[in-house]
């Protein structure tokens, strides 16, 4: 009796589920006919989807939105957090800043956000001074030409905010920004016969011709691309903070002192404030973060000024070489002394781990990587985000050629061009940065000697120095 009832109820169940199935099928077919009748204007298709609304992803969306070639194309920018706006300057500086290179400045001018940023606050850097804690060798970069700035220090939040504002004001026609959009998965086809698909955690699905992964070092887009990736952690952490300094007249010099634990960089923010990027071992990092403000400042001054690790033999050798060379080549620049740190602007200390990462290819059919998703470097040269902005410019150039010749935005033939051009530019820089970090990660005397003489040599020979400077700021 009971059994038969169960049976009956189960048959009832299957009948209802059958009806439900039928209903959903009808609904679906209805929906599909209605979507085909509304043609390509259906809301879930975008020509390009940028994943990640950070420094690089926003620049990509903005560049796309302002370019006349893409006025009939639609772009969707997915940002996991919220959008920000650039308001009045806050009293406190953010502890995350970027050293914007001259070519990145040109990009900002093209995007029409440079004046806005300058009105907010931008600190120009006229000189760059690199020192070795193990010897007296130092190098000094300064522009000889009329353009006197080496770089500009700008807070990351300000750049992101200015880009969001620009997107809202001038790009709303063809760029849609979706905030709080967390990527769940994306599926990429083997070739351009199908569209790529993006699924968000809230269940919404978008189709596109091209997914641009600007979602940082742990990129989900890169994961979905299933490409080779070489990466490692440096076993180093970087402490960032906003510092009060005294000493330099206008505070227009960016300082970097290499210590065996890692480089300490002091980047000017204003006449009496600087931003700190202190690379050190994880243990030392934890200790430093646990200290109170005064103790932390003492430790930092020691790291900047300490003579403990100086190698006297190397110094003697340097002195000899210098006195010999000075008879032929007069000294060109005077070594300046780093500023003295007097305190912190509130307690703005924070730390993050450092690593290296390199995607073996930046492209797949219907997908491309830009910024940290494609390459992650040590912050010691301030190059990371500038490489990303370089990616943006190259990718835009390739895509506008595609549009002008009627191609498919996700076509491999064109994307491969982006890939090879950017790899050619990025990989040597990445390798150089990695080697610099290794070269200065030791106090082994022969290495100290070699690097000191090398740094000295580069400093004395203008042509070589200019070459390096042009490369770093290009």
Partner 1 sequence: MRTTARCRRLLPLRADLGRCLRTSLAAALQRPVPLHTNAAVFAASFSSSSSSLAADNSDVVAPSVDDYGSAGLAPIPTKRLLHSNLTTPSLSSAGGNDVFGFPLISNKWFKQQHNANQLRKLHTTAVDAPATKLSSIDNDDVTRFARLSGEWWDERGALKPLHSLNQARVPWIRDTLGSRTSKSSTTDDGRSSLAGLRLMDVGCGAGVLSEPLARLGAHVIGLDAADDAIDVARARTRLDPDLKRANIEYRCGSVESFVADNPKMVGSFDAIVASEVIEHVLSLESFLDACVQLVKPGGQLFFTTLNRTLLSRVMAIWVAEDVLGIVPQGVHDWNKFVPPNDLAALLEARGCNVRLLNGLCYNPLMNKWSWVADTSINYALMARKEA
Task: Between 68 and 327, name the residue whose CB sits nearer to partner 1.
Answer: 68
Its sign, for the CA torsion 405, 38, 191, 387, is: positive
Task: Between 101 and 414, name the residue whose CB sits nearer to partner 1.
Answer: 414
Task: Between 204 and 346, name the residue whose CB sits nearer to partner 1.
Answer: 204
- Distance (Å, rounded) from C-alpha 456 to C-alpha 144? 19
Say what the alpha-carbon torsion angle 275, 381, 130, 137 is, to the nearest 10 degrees: 150
What is the nearest approach in angstroms of partner 1 to the Cβ of residue 108?
23
Footprint on this chain of partner 1 (rule: CB under 8 A): 39-40, 45, 47, 68-69, 71-72, 190-195, 365, 400-401, 403-408, 411-414, 416-417, 420
What is the nearest approach in angstroms of partner 1 to the Cβ of residue 70?
9
- Distance (Å, rounded) from C-alpha 75 to C-alpha 409? 12
Task: Between 188 and 288, name the residue whose CB sits nearer to partner 1.
Answer: 188
- Distance (Å, rounded) from C-alpha 93 to C-alpha 460? 36
What is the nearest approach in angstroms of partner 1 to the Cβ of residue 460?
38
Phi, psi of 242 (to 5 degrees): -100, 125
Task: Between 279 and 414, name the residue whose CB sits nearer to partner 1.
Answer: 414
Show the tokens assigned to 281: 């071992």
At which residue do the structure tokens 């199908």 appear?
194
Its sign, for the CA torsion 438, 268, 390, 180, is: positive
List the one residue out of 198, 167, 164 whose CA is nearest residue 184: 198
Phi, psi of 50 (to 5 degrees): -100, 125
Taking each helix axis from N to C end, the angle separating 462-473 and 445-460, rounded to the nearest 10 degrees, works out to: 90
Start-to-end Cα distance in the chain = 85
DSSP 341: E
What lies within 8 Å, CB to CB, of 305 at 6+ separation is 338
What is the nearest approach in angstroms of partner 1 to the Cβ of residue 195?
7
What is the nearest approach in angstroms of partner 1 to the Cβ of residue 35?
12
Task: Between 147 and 193, name the residue whose CB sits nearer to partner 1.
Answer: 193
Task: Between 53 and 365, name the residue whose CB sits nearer to partner 1.
Answer: 365
- Distance (Å, rounded) from C-alpha 221 to C-alpha 337? 45
Task: Between 325 and 412, name the residue whose CB sits nearer to partner 1.
Answer: 412
At which residue do the structure tokens 């073996």 appear?
360
What is the nearest approach in angstroms of partner 1 to the Cβ of residue 413?
5
- Distance (Å, rounded) from C-alpha 350 to C-alpha 438? 24
What is the nearest approach in angstroms of partner 1 to the Cβ of residue 404?
4
Q: How many CB atoms lie within 10 A of CB 19?
A: 10
Task: Between 137 and 197, name the residue whose CB sits nearer to partner 1.
Answer: 197
What is the nearest approach in angstroms of partner 1 to the Cβ of residue 177?
21
Residue 459 contacts residue 139 (beta carbons within 8 Å): yes
What is the nearest approach in angstroms of partner 1 to the Cβ of residue 209?
8
């Amino acid at each position: 009796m009971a059994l038969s009832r169960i049976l009956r109820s189960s048959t009832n169940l299957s009948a209802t589920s059958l009806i439900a199935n039928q209903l959903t099928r009808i609904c679906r077919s209805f929906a599909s006919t209605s979507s085909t009748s509304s043609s390509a204007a259906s809301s879930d298709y975008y020509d390009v989807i940028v994943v990640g609304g950070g420094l690089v992803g926003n620049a990509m969306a903005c560049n796309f939105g302002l370019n006349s070639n893409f006025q009939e194309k639609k772009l969707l920018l997915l940002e996991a957090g919220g959008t920000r706006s650039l308001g009045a300057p806050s009293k406190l500086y953010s502890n995350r800043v970027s050293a914007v290179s001259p070519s990145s400045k040109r990009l900002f001018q093209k995007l029409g956000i440079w004046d806005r940023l300058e009105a907010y606050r931008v600190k120009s850097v006229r000189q760059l001074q690199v020192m070795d804690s193990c010897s007296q060798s130092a190098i000094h970069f300064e522009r000889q030409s009329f353009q006197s700035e080496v770089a500009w220090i700008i807070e990351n939040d300000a750049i992101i905010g200015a880009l969001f504002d620009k997107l809202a004001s001038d790009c709303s026609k063809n760029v849609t920004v979706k905030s709080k959009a967390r990527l769940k998965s994306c599926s990429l086809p083997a070739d351009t016969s199908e569209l790529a698909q993006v699924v968000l955690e809230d269940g919404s699905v978008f189709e596109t011709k091209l997914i641009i992964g600007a979602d940082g070092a742990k990129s989900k887009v890169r994961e979905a691309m299933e490409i080779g990736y070489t990466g490692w952690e440096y076993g180093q952490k970087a402490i960032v903070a906003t510092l009060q300094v005294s000493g330099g007249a206008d505070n227009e010099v960016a300082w970097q002192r290499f210590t065996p634990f890692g480089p300490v960089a002091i980047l000017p923010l204003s006449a009496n404030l600087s931003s700190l990027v202190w690379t050190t071992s994880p243990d030392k990092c934890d200790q430093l973060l646990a200290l109170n403000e005064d103790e932390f400042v003492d430790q930092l001054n020691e790291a900047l000024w300490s003579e403990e690790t100086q190698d006297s033999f190397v110094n003697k050798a340097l002195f000899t070489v210098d006195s010999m060379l000075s008879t032929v080549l007069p000294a060109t620049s005077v070594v300046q002394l780093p500023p003295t740190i007097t305190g912190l602007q509130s307690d703005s200390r924070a730390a993050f781990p450092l690593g290296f990462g390199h995607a073996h290819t930046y492209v797949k059919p219907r997908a491309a990587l830009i910024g940290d998703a494609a390459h992650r470097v040590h912050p010691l040269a301030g190059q990371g985000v500038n490489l990303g902005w370089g990616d943006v410019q190259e990718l835009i150039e390739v895509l506008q050629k595609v549009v002008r010749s009627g191609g498919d935005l996700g076509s491999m033939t064109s994307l491969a061009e982006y890939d090879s051009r950017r790899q050619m530019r990025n990989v040597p820089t990445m390798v150089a940065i990695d080697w610099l970090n290794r070269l200065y990660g030791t106090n082994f005397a022969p290495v100290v000697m070699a690097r000191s003489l090398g740094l000295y040599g580069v400093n004395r020979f203008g042509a070589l120095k200019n070459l390096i400077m042009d490369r770093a700021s290009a």
